Structure 1
């Protein structure tokens, strides 16, 4: 049997496969790839699905979950799917799997604009760097929640310290999305660190605060975004108030 401390062979192989895949990336793109892959692996864990025994229909269910439950933009769904496709491709190259369950999964049609906040990749890097260097710890948490988690502004502003938790050994955030649906979002380490800095040891209340120490609302959040864009030297597209 597998007592505590005994890691099943499946888990060892999966861990090796994940490391081999992430090993191809460096720096921020590794961070983004890891965070996208973790969304998939956490989804698998919640559905008692072993990623290395997944079938095409499972990958299609995952894509539908991203679209219908999480209601992500087509660009985000497409990016998250391409990370899953890339992961399985490396599994084939490394001889872990004979063929990929993600082959032939239809991609969502993406309108030709960039993913996060309607920014190009380099613009987003500039924005997140400006947020990381800002004296206001809410800035980094805000950009990380919008850009790396793909939350909408009202979801980020509505996040409470009590919504933070752990599932399957991962930090997660409970998010109330459109139509009051509650979903668990895994927090990549960089986002968890940004959130912890903003929370600053408090035990309750909002994650994001305005300059007066009250909950940040979407108007304040939009102002912070514009302020960061100016210091990053980028022109923000018209912000959608969601």
Structure 2
């Protein structure tokens, strides 16, 4: 693909349009969810608009230009919070831009990736801005969801009991539900386009069955005759992530959770990881369940990892005691 700038810098709409075909090719080349694809498109479009406004040709951008852009992002106010963009948000935007330039390098449109030498925000792998939930709060939300409707109970159960991402829940199809080796299962495409498979615990399966039976009664058909998305609206369309986001906060208020206005579907994913680890599930099993390539990512989700009750010194001491070796002296 040949990429030749055709317009003079300064006209934002024209300058951005020059790279639409290339950006489409880049996104098509990657296994991404629709949500991630659109987020990456917005990130690149934002950079191209900044280049047009500052008179910088994207194909000639240096790491110093990327640094200027990063500082501009850090000074940008998020309209939702009224505060400057978080370092994690800036880092994510630059990560998408870096992937864009990597594709350009492979096409030999640029000699190197200018984002590689840029000064990116430092993001701690030991911290996440997502507000977590205690096991008791998750239980309270599940009770509130069950009292609300069978559909909402099933959605919250999948988020809480499997730690699924909200997009993964919304994209579930009835054909994804099955049985394998004595387990109720659900298959889905996870982050990065990776096929995933998870087991449904008994309670999760009961919540899902109750919803499907309710949906079938309303439709006047048998459960096995239902088709399409697992979760649909009253109008028959698929439930979207924004609706689930609003649902989580509404149910959190109903459940009396103090941090209700700050919670999101991702809060339940964090709670899943924390509870699994506190119940003794090995880190590698939690990592596999959550679809993380790096165990350090999983550790960020474990909000109880610094609990002194889990200090390895206790396990060492207990093992020594079982061997009959004096603990002191």
TM-score, normalisation: structure 1: 0.49
Larger Cα-atom Rg? 2
Higher relative contact order (CA 8 A, sep 6+): 1
